Structure 1
Amino acid sequence: MSCEFQPPWWSRGGHQQTIWAPFFARSGKVPLRREIWTTPDHDQVAVDWIDAPPQAPVVILFHGLGSSSRGHYALALASALRHRGWGGCFINFRGCGGIDNRLPRSYHAGDSSEIAWMLEKVAELLPDRNRYAVGVSLGGNALLKYLGEQGANAEPILSKAAGVCAPIDLVATAEFLQKGRIRFYNRYFLKNMKQSVRRFQRHYPELADWPQVFSAKNLYDFDEHFTAPVHGFAGAQSFWEEGSSAPLLRHITVPTLLLNSADDPIVPIASVRKAMLSAAITPCVTPHGGHVGFMSGPFPGRLDWLPHTLLDYFDGRNNA
């Protein structure tokens, strides 16, 4: 694989890569087969499969905040998997993928226990296949946290893994999003998060201090009044500190690609560069690419660089 990404001349900035890719860049269309899984606590999640021959490798995808198995990077990965004849298991977190979950809880960036049972279930379903996992953005931090917590215990579950544009330091990321033009993303995330929790307000009026939740002006306010109390954390700061994967990266033993771009407008690259990495981690920082953009080619752009880079790494083609 190669760690060299070349953006097109018409889209070199991190903001344009980030904003343009989800809406306008081309990606393939691959049929997905849906299953509904019951969680250990009797909730439900939607899982979308890309079927492949019985012995083909399978790539497990964990999406980012407000996304799903049909995010732009997911569709591009699905197309690449179909082209190689590999399988895919694209897992939607609770309340995502077009179905509501049943319990008064959502998903969050530090939910490594959720990652654990999902990966164990895939291993039970497909015991004789090479299993690779990709976590994107929020899903990347959760996956990396799981890998760090499990250490060598994750090796029977996964052959390799990758974290893409993962906010490994949630404190640094939240602070970064309050600066200058970047506050646009803070407002975008807040709007989507507030919309997503309105169903909890209807069904569980005592779950949170809803006036405080819906008047939140930044991520701290939202996490302080919803994410933290609903998921058992003392507050936003505790949630960010306990949920960050950065302190655990040195414990990862599963071969893992840590892929980021230097011009990511959401994840501060300084927080990634200062992290202590284990020998099992292959870091890849591209100068350009934005936040899960990595859009290349002629206008309006293609999204094939990221999935091919990931699959080449899993397939053992060269080094980063």
Structure 2
Amino acid sequence: MALERPRLIAGPAFRTFLLDCCPVLRRRFWPTFWCLGGRLQTLLRFLLKSKPLLTYRTELLRTADGGQLSLDWLEGPNQQLNPQLTVLLLPGLTSNSRENYILHLAAQAQLLNCKCVVFNYRGCGKEELLTPRLYCAANTEDMSLVVNHIRSVQPSSPILAVGLSMGGMLLLNFLAEQGHQTGVDAAMTISVPWDAFTSTASLEEPLNKLLFNRMLTRLLTGTVRRHREVLESKYDVDYVLKARTVWEYDERLISIMFGFRSNGDYYHAASPFHKVPAILVPVLCLNAADDPLSPECAFPVEAIQTSPCVALAVTEHGGHLAFLEGVFPCGESFMDRLFREFASMILSHGPLHFSATQSPVANR
């Protein structure tokens, strides 16, 4: 297995700053030697990675359409009233605040004395679904509600938003829509699928379909089954539950729920690949070249090279939301260490803005 430093793609100012402030990007990533390939890394993350014992305080937010979603605020001795940084975590497609990779990032935030909150999408937390509406990567209304609420309760704290997998798609779409008015001071994505069509095509490959597509579909339809009573007032739930792939699930429910003319239109709107030029706050993206859910061919390398605000770190190995390292990869991973260093950078320098030719300037 080749041991290489991550490839860092970014504009000159942002690249120099990241290499200075995030030493992990200058070192070789040593993936677990017996964990060969992105598929195995991805599968073993589910099985081997530990779950730190953390305590959350759940807050329910009501939405404009009469629905609700939940925020899980990390509690502990280091959770100050007026923190220097608030970390907002956006989980993947079928996850919530109890997922092991979310717990590890929350634990890192706690070590840094940051305030930390997890955005549980509608129907994914412990709360009941009140209206026949779930969530999707292309609709940012709930994301706006969450950011505005955090701003209202932590007005003096910068916000670092971290989106994982589909959460990264949602985050990048939100940043592209809002421009300078995001309410977010910096962002990070991990294992974001840059192009929904390419990711779907990869999921449809025979082995990936067996290992990942069916599992994700079962989890998605499980959420529908749990909230059947509310959803069947508007949608053909029995037809949705017969879906065997993520594409079929999205086609039968999500694209209709959010008013798209076709599933293709939804996937185009959900894909952040073509939105990089519209992102105007600093974002560090981490992807693995062997990610079975986010193929390397879809990484927007050319757009990122000309963007002053977006950087992409690519490891040769790491799979999807895994980046396992060490002989017994149950604890801290490469993605956790990179997150800690990036968050430390914001703590040290304050919110930053970049231009194509100038050094970063603090917003303090």
**Which amino acid in the other structure matches residue 176 of structure 2?**
G
* Helix, strand or coil at the partner of 2:220: helix
Deviation at 1:227, TM superposition (A): 0.8
Q: Aligned pair 1:23/2:23, yes or no?
A: no
Identity of aligned residues (%): 27
Q: Aligned pair 1:159/2:185, yes or no?
A: yes
Deviation at 1:267, TM superposition (A): 1.0
- The 1-side partners of 2:157 and 2:237 are apart by 46
Q: Aligned pair 1:138/2:166, yes or no?
A: yes
* Helix, strand or coil at the partner of 1:107: coil
Determine the structure 2 residue equivalent to 1:309.
338
Deviation at 1:269, TM superposition (A): 1.5
Q: 2:199 aligns with which of 145, 152, 173?
A: 173
Q: Equivalences for 1:1-320 in 2 at 5 Å?
A: 1=22, 2-3=24-25, 4-51=28-75, 52-53=79-80, 54-154=82-182, 157-184=183-210, 185-274=212-301, 276-277=303-304, 278-316=307-345
> Contact 1:137–1:164 at 8 Å: present in 2 too?
yes
> Contact 2:83–2:115 at 8 Å: present in 1 too?
no
Residue 238 to residue 275, structure 1, CA distance change in 2 (3 Å) = farther
Deviation at 1:85, TM superposition (A): 1.3
* Number of residue-to-residue matches in the alignment: 316
**Runs of 5+ unmatched residues, structure 1:** none
> Contact 1:22–1:71 at 8 Å: present in 2 too?
no
* Helix, strand or coil at the partner of 2:234: coil
Q: 1:59-102 CA deviation, whole Å, 9 max, x = no partner?
A: 00011111101111111012112222111011101011222221
> Contact 2:132–2:233 at 8 Å: present in 1 too?
no
**Runs of 5+ unmatched residues, structure 2:** 1-21, 350-364
> Contact 1:26–1:302 at 8 Å: present in 2 too?
yes
- The 2-side partners of 1:83 and 1:201 are apart by 40
Normalised TM-score (structure 1): 0.93
Deviation at 1:288, TM superposition (A): 0.9
* Helix, strand or coil at the partner of 1:152: coil
**Which amino acid in the other structure matches residue 330 of structure 2?**
G
> Contact 2:199–2:293 at 8 Å: present in 1 too?
yes
Deviation at 1:275, TM superposition (A): 6.1
Greater Cα shift, 136-145 or 103-112: 103-112
Deviation at 1:289, TM superposition (A): 0.9
**Which amino acid in the other structure matches residue 94 of structure 1?**
R
Name the larger-Rg structure. Answer: 2
- RMSD between aligned alpha carbons? 1.9
Deviation at 1:7, TM superposition (A): 0.9
- The 2-side partners of 1:294 and 1:183 are apart by 21
- The 1-side partners of 2:228 and 2:54 are apart by 35
- The 2-side partners of 1:301 and 1:81 are apart by 18
- The 1-side partners of 2:57 and 2:100 are apart by 18
Greater Cα shift, 75-84 or 128-137: 75-84
**Which amino acid in the other structure matches residue 35 of structure 1?**
E
- The 1-side partners of 2:246 and 2:45 are apart by 24
- The 2-side partners of 1:275 and 1:74 are apart by 30
Residue 33 to residue 304, structure 1, CA distance change in 2 (3 Å) = farther
- The 2-side partners of 1:275 and 1:107 are apart by 30
Residue 27 to residue 217, structure 1, CA distance change in 2 (3 Å) = closer
- The 1-side partners of 2:180 and 2:162 are apart by 18
